[in-house]
């Protein structure tokens, strides 16, 4: 029996406490993901929660910071796995593939933060592992992406002032171009969580 799993990747407070959150394209990401979670549960799909950790770094992703937790409004229910990763994709440093095997998962729906980073990388790896992948771009979030030569400690103002910076929209578009037809099918939130029509 084949089954679908919804992956919620890194929708965590770690991002909200960073300066770049002020320019995130989807500040309502928890609500967007929440719609997918509600639909997945109603369909009997598996929901898997993924949190990114960087132990010992002293950053917002260090578990000691207290920020490595789901954004308020998102809450796993009993039986929904919550896993932590230290790599960009949700497979390499976790037992995610084992969880999928145990639950008979063959299709994966990807949502979360950041669109072009952990979400895209997870989608690519999932595809290479043989899963049918759906990428819900609307239920991912990202920020403007600085040119690689800009210093890592550049301020948000410096990033936005640099003409080489890619807007969140441009980053998102590039991810869709790279994934569609190769690694994933692009779907909308409404595709997967259609609002019932009241009579």
Q: What is the pLDDT of residue 1?
A: 61
pTM for this model (two decimals)? 0.95
Q: What is the pLDDT of residue 132?
A: 98
Q: What is the pLDDT of residue 198?
A: 42
Q: What is the pLDDT of residue 194?
A: 76
Low-confidence ranges of the chain (pLDDT < 50): 197-199
Q: What is the pLDDT of residue 195?
A: 53
Measured distance CA(62)–CA(14) in Å, rounded: 9
Structure-token pair, residue 38: 């509600």
């Amino acid at each position: 029996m084949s089954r679908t799993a919804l992956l919620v990747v890194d929708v965590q407070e770690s991002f909200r406490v960073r300066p770049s959150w002020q320019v995130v394209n989807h500040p309502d990401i928890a609500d967007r993901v929440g719609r997918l979670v509600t639909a997945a549960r109603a369909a009997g799909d598996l929901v898997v929660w993924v949190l990114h950790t960087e132990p010992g770094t002293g950053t917002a992703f260090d578990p000691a910071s207290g920020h490595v937790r789901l954004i308020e409004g998102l809450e796993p229910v009993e039986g929904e796995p919550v896993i932590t990763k230290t790599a960009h994709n949700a497979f390499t440093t976790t037992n995610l593939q084992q969880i999928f095997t145990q639950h008979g998962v063959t299709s994966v729906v990807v949502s979360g933060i950041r669109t072009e980073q952990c979400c895209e990388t997870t989608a690519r790896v999932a595809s290479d592992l043989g899963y049918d992948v759906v990428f819900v771009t609307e239920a991912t979030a990202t920020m403007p992406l600085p040119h690689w030569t800009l210093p890592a400690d550049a301020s948000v103002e410096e990033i936005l002032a640099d003409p080489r910076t890619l807007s969140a929209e441009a980053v998102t578009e590039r991810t869709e171009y790279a994934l569609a037809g190769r690694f994933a099918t692009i779907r909308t939130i409404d595709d997967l969580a259609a609002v019932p029509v009241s009579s």
